[in-house]
Chain A
Amino acid sequence: MSGAGTTRDPVRHVPRAEYLTTVKELADEGYAMCIDLTAVDYLELPNRRLPDDAEPAQRFEVVVNLLDLRNRRRLRLRVQVPEDDPTLPTLFDVHPGTEAMEREVFDMFGIEFTDHPDLTRILMPEDWVGHPLRKDDEVGRIPVQFKGAHA
């Protein structure tokens, strides 16, 4: 019984069209806090298993961790985001704390959050090209800045 105790969080797969309304409904149900919002690039795992009732797997997946403080429960939402249209409505109106997290996902994965108040890069330099956490943005592809320096 040792080690853990952390309950296995329930997961819900949400269709992209119902994403915003689902989060709003859940906020009314008590999931008052958005703890985390991140994304995964499933480029190398196109045939991964998803439950039958979920939407077909897409390249990107946005993962949202919600927390209900009163009932002490968590819920993880997984939303499929296609490669050819990587957009999702922002959660800023429901959970303003997602502002920085959505900017990070935009910066790292190039997923755009429509109606986000300030969708700019947050961790990478403003003039950076590409989105580093995408699987096709390879490590070491960027030339070393000081390669011309004398040894």
Chain B
Amino acid sequence: MSKYTEDDLREELKTKEYEYGFYTDIESETFEKGLNEEVVRAISKKKNEPQWMTDWRLEAFRVWKQMEEPDWANVNYQKPNFQEIAYYSAPKPKKKLDSLDEVDPDLLETFKKLGISLEEQKRLANVAVDIVIDSVSVATTFKKTLGEKGIIFMPISEAIQEHPELVRKYLGSVVPTTDNFYAALNSAVFSDGSFCYIPKGVRCPMELSTYFRINEGGTGQFERTLVVADKGSYVSYLEGCTAPARDENQLHAAVVELIALDDSEIKYSTVQNWYPGDAEGNGGVFNFVTKRALCETNAKVSWTQVETGSAITWKYPSCILKGNNSVGEFYSIAVTNNYQQADTGTKMIHLGKNTKSTIISKGISAGKSQNSYRGLVHIGARAENARNFSQCDSLLMGNECGAHTFPYIEVKNSSAQIEHEATTSKIGEEQLFYCNQRGIDTEKAIALIVNGFSKEVLNKLPMEFAVEAQKLLEISLEGSVG
């Protein structure tokens, strides 16, 4: 798995499905490459969607056609040819393996370092698991618990069928189809994703990841997530998986919309570990994500992200603080190594009175990578007494990487209080020697220093996730100091 070039990727995209002879009716399961109105209609039809949904997709497609791919981010890459992508394929039937012996040893080694249980290793590596019955029953138990509270948590394609009134009301309400190039594309062609609704006054009794991890394998190329927290409710949602995601899709353009109604709270945590490309910068996933939350009166949304994967990351989880006294938080760790490029940050749009936002961003760059923080703090004219605190810290390893900070501040109300702090530091020879002298080797020393640097953000993650995220940081930076 050391070499995985763009050509390999393209080849795999071309030949998918056929090789295992899994599908009898190829025509109906995999579409030709290319994107036009017919393809959009066909996707909608395939999913048996109601007319309003088809129209919504078509409108998005019409908008997308008029748009140009943005190029303001501090990243360089060969733009994808959107007509060279197949926009619909049924979930990829991965070859089932009989035992872990057949799995790529590199992958197993990584699992081991992450401390993933043997059973879960099998599941992730697509090995037939004996205890399938067990995990199904676990999933069922979760479903029952959630059901009793009236919580809806299901694939968005199912939600469109079963709860059309909710989906129709909120889909596109925070990230409109016209928002940006990738969001428009996603709106037109999204394959699937998750839908979550927490009823009034309900506190979701579990982290929604546990369920997620058991229930769902890979995620789609154009994923769509919609989370609605009704008045006075609370939910903690975990997205992604710390295990290395060896996805064949090169372009990922997901959209996540969060709606936090009055007095509700949503915590949304992400660990992103898509294939970053090899050490020479070949291959890797382009991750162009639009994530945004709407906060009504007294509502609170916290975004926490640990971004270690992808060749290109373009991602700005944002909060529209519409309601008075609403609160937005953004805690981020972005690691880039080798030739990875990340342009990530947040937008805090203060519209309501007494709105508060906190931004803590930790960028870690190694190898020949480029790591940029880009953030906007906007205080609207009617946002009396709005407050923001931003802290952007960069840690550099070696002399060939770059760290950049692009803070944008727009203030239209003089009662606003805005603080911005930024630091840049470098892991020094002296720090490493000090650790070495205590018997800690350089690799471990870097992990220790990086974890210390990232601590404020790691602390925001749910416990089980935090432990895995720490190990992930370690693995991502392996070999970064020669």
A and B physically associate: no
